[in-house]
Amino acid sequence: MTRRRAPKPASRPEGAGLWQRIRLFRQDMFSSQPERLYRAWMAEVRGPLYRSFLVNDPALVKRVLLEEPEKFPKSAIIHDTLRGLLGDSVFLSNGETWKRQRRILDPAFEQGAVKAFPAMRDAGAAAVVRLGKGGMVEMEAVASMLTADVIFRTLFSIPITSEVATRVFQAFRRYQRAQPLWNIPGLLRLPRWAPRFHSKAARESAAEIRGLLAGLVAARAAEIVEGRAPDDLATRIMTLPDPETGETFTPAEMVDQVAIFFLAGHETSASALGWALYLLAANPDIQARAAAEAMAAPDLGDLSGMPFIKAVFRETLRLFPPVPMMVREAAEACEFRGRNVPKGSLAILSPWHLHRHRRLWDHPDDFDPDRWQTQNGKACKRNAYIPFSAGPRVCSGAGFAMIEGVLLLSMLLAAYRFEAGPEPVPVAHLTVRAKDGINLRLVPRDGSSPEHTDA
Ligand code: HEM
């Protein structure tokens, strides 16, 4: 069995003080975490104004996400940074608002993956054309454009090269550069009126994105009225009524939902795709097996014929869960493993630590897609594997993302051989990214010579 240690960020030095921790947290959430979190079942952090509990015990994770989700709603304070972009979308809402949004979105998305298949395939083919003869490529940027292309084609039936889509994509990149992941007032539980560090650039790009999306929604609303709207995700979300009240989303609510589909639907998949290609590039024997499977598949539309590529994608989501941590808030006082959890405490669920937990996984930092064929892999999958979260707030796009990941990987592997550049260092931005990007060399499999460019 071949396997190799996957990149892992340095942990926080023992004994670091609060301000050093906050500084590390702002700079990179991973470097602010101590090594012992990879072994602990639970860790409590007491701040001056708050308490938070990182939970790694699978039974506790299950309780928070699946058994008592209403007692642990999403923490609004922590997500405040995203509100400028996402409004009151399903990702941030709680209670009745959230329930209503899911009642409309879930049926619209039910056949999402099946219906989106042509969009995924067309976006994959367009990416191969753009990559041409390969050469040195920064894969994160390529993957972001590719998955944004998938999501625009799925939502609005337009490719990323269309003018509005390109403008949204570029504004989003500016937003990411300008927006810190966590806000310090949120972290310290300061009251909501305390100043937030929303930079002007972040506010401006969020407003620009929302303006462009509002234009797309308005145009689609007109097409629906005129009876000439394409049968895509936007049309389904805008026309499907809430089964309980019969109401549809208002145009303003629609902009919130489109914004989250764009964000959640492309950032996460791009992160996973970039890391999967790095892991394959760094492990040529595993890449050869995956590429052989892709090239032997008579029809790339039949993903059941690609169990190994699926295992590669699952293993990538284990080592580099695109959403590294999720935050919930205790709605009432309770106990975790015999300790008092006061009302308002934060419960932090960390796929990043859970997926590399020393006591839950064999050789946790190794890239080993074969683990998914073994009994141990399956047991851990049940107990300690939550790349898409779990329970009622599970990712709406999980099925979509699995199909997208396997299909795009197989298309890229069939077209190119990937060679690894310098080892990337994982950092937590909106999703798990590489500090200096993922630089790979692409060699076309059709025998044409790679370009010597720094594309
Ligand atoms: C590899 C790809 C993806 C990963 C790893 C992923 C992961 C996640 C996770 C962990 C959450 C829960 C976050 C939390 O509770 O704080 C989530 C929520 C969500 N995801 Fe995904 N996601 C992926 C792709 C997608 C795609 C493709 C879409 C849509 C096209 C999507 C739409 C959503 C939405 C709407 C939510 C909010 C659900 C709710 O709160 O009720 N995701 N995702």
Token duo for residue 164: 């509005």
DSSP 335-356: EETTEEE-TT-EEEE-HHHHTT
How far apart CA 294 and CA 416 sit, in angstroms, is 11
Decide if 45 contacts 52 (C-beta within 8 A): yes
Q: How far apart are CA 38 and CA 8, in angstroms?
A: 12
- The shares of helix, strand and coil residues in the chain, as percent rounded to the nearest 5, are 55, 10, 35
Among 89, 97, 107, 88, residue whose Cα is nearest residue 243: 107
172-179, long-range: CB < 8 A, 24+ apart: 172/148, 172/205, 172/209, 172/262, 172/263, 173/144, 174/201, 174/205, 175/85, 175/202, 175/205, 175/206, 175/209, 176/429, 176/430, 177/201, 178/202, 178/205, 179/81, 179/85, 179/430
Half-sphere exposure of 372 (CA within 13 A, CB side): 17
Domain residue ranges of the chain, discontinuous segments joined by +: 4-444
pLDDT tens-place values along the chain, 455 residues long? 444 899 998 877 677 676 666 666 666 667 767 889 999 999 997 766 678 899 999 999 999 999 999 999 998 666 666 788 888 888 888 899 999 999 999 888 876 667 888 999 999 999 999 999 999 999 999 999 999 999 999 999 999 999 999 999 999 888 877 765 444 444 445 444 444 445 778 888 889 999 999 999 999 999 999 999 999 999 999 999 999 999 999 888 899 999 888 888 899 999 999 999 999 999 999 999 999 999 988 666 667 789 999 999 999 999 999 999 998 999 999 999 999 999 999 999 999 999 999 999 999 999 999 999 876 666 777 789 999 999 999 999 999 999 999 999 999 999 999 999 999 999 887 789 999 999 999 999 987 766 544 43
**Closest atom, ligand 1, to C-alpha of 233:** 30
CA of 398 to the centre of ligand 1 (A): 7
Ligand 1 neighbour 401 (Cβ under 6 A):
yes
Q: Whose CA is nearest to atom 9 of ligand 1?
A: 388
Ligand 1 in contact with 269 (CB < 6 A)? Answer: yes
Whether ligand 1 lies within 6 angstroms of the CB of 424 is answered as no
Of all protein residues, the one whose alpha carbon is nearest to atom 14 of ligand 1 is 326
CB 395 near ligand 1, within 6 Å: yes
HSE-up of residue 419 (Cα within 13 Å, Cβ side)? 9
Closest Cα partner for 86 from 234, 254, 199? Answer: 254
The reply to whether ligand 1 has any atom less than 6 angstroms from the CB of 397 is: yes
Is residue 372 within 6 Å of ligand 1 at its C-beta?
no
Strands 51-55 and 346-349: parallel
Q: How far does residue 257's CA lie from ligand 1's centre (Å)?
A: 12
**Domain 4-444 carries which CATH code?**
1.10.630.10
CA dist 290 and 370 (Å) reads 12
